[in-house]
Amino acid sequence: MAALDQLIDALRRLPGVGPKSAQRMAYHLLLNDRSGAQALAATLSQALSRVQTCARCHGFSEDPVCGVCSDTRRDPGLLAVVESPADQAVIERSGSYKGYYFVLGGRVSPIEGRGPRDIGAEALLHRATDGQVREVILATSFTAEGEATAYLLGEALKAQGLLVTRLARGVPVGSELEFVDLGTLAHAFADRR
């Protein structure tokens, strides 16, 4: 059955979905949830045509400039640099930040041959030197690649005379010390305030 096999192939392109899951999903949609399948096809088409990249922060937006970048009550002196729209979204949900964002196209990776230029370093330097930004907060991941990204971008930004900071490394709020990994604990000690 060509139509069924093609659907299974398309579902396999979703992250974290192997051949068995894809088959289960396809069968479920066609057998038990045709309205769900219809909704998925419709919302995919709609998102593809409506969701674009914000010209200012490069995050997701349905308008040329996104709601966050259009919000004039934010502090134009603060610019948070994140790796992805997902990271931007989680910071927004935390309600802890009232500046603007710059969304990178991922993080540098020597293994995958991705350097600062490939993730938007030039656009970031242009954005950060608009005369209003006074502090760039590097909110990349605390992984090897995230740290390398922060280091490389940080050097370039400091060369422009900007104040560059990094999110504090520490023990997650609400967690028991006992269950915190040792690396995190070591950093929490080093960064104690």
Q: What is the contact surface with a copy of itself in residues (CB under 8 A)?
A: 1-4, 6-7, 9-11, 13-16, 20-21, 23-31, 33-34, 36-48, 50-51, 60-62, 84-86, 89, 178-179
Binder of residue 4, out of a copy of itself, Zn ion, none (CB less than 5 to 8 A by kind): a copy of itself
Neighbouring residues of 14: CB distance < 8 A, sequence distance ≥ 6: 22
* DSSP string covering 61-96: ESSSS-HHHH-TTS-TTEEEEESSHHHHHHHHHHT-
User: Among residues 18 and 77, whose Cβ is nearest to a copy of itself?
Assistant: 18
Query: What is the C-alpha to C-alpha distance for residues 14 and 26, in angstroms, rounded to an integer?
Result: 13
Q: How far is the CB of 94 from Zn ion (least distance, A)?
A: 18
User: Among residues 26 and 108, whose Cβ is nearest to a copy of itself?
Assistant: 26
**Residue 60 in 3-state DSSP?**
strand
User: Among residues 26 and 128, whose Cβ is nearest to a copy of itself?
Assistant: 26
User: Among residues 131 and 174, whose Cβ is nearest to a copy of itself?
Assistant: 174
Binder of residue 84, out of Zn ion, a copy of itself, none (CB less than 5 to 8 A by kind): a copy of itself
Binder of residue 191, out of Zn ion, a copy of itself, none (CB less than 5 to 8 A by kind): none
Element housing 79 (H / E): strand 78-82
Element housing 175 (H / E): none
Binder of residue 144, out of Zn ion, a copy of itself, none (CB less than 5 to 8 A by kind): none
Query: What is the C-alpha to C-alpha distance for residues 139 and 81, in angstroms, rounded to an integer?
Result: 5
Binder of residue 60, out of a copy of itself, Zn ion, none (CB less than 5 to 8 A by kind): a copy of itself
User: Among residues 113 and 161, whose Cβ is nearest to a copy of itself?
Assistant: 113
CA angle, residues 183, 187, 193, in degrees to nearest 5: 155
User: How large is the greatest C-alpha to C-alpha distance in the chain, in angstroms?
Assistant: 64
Residues of this chain that bind Zn ion (CB under 5 A): 54, 56-57, 66, 69
CA angle, residues 38, 41, 46, in degrees to nearest 5: 120
- Tokens for 140, please give them: 């990349």
Q: How far is the CB of 11 from a copy of itself (least distance, A)?
A: 7
Q: How far is the CB of 145 from a copy of itself (least distance, A)?
A: 16
Query: What is the C-alpha to C-alpha distance for residues 76 and 65, in angstroms, rounded to an integer?
Result: 15
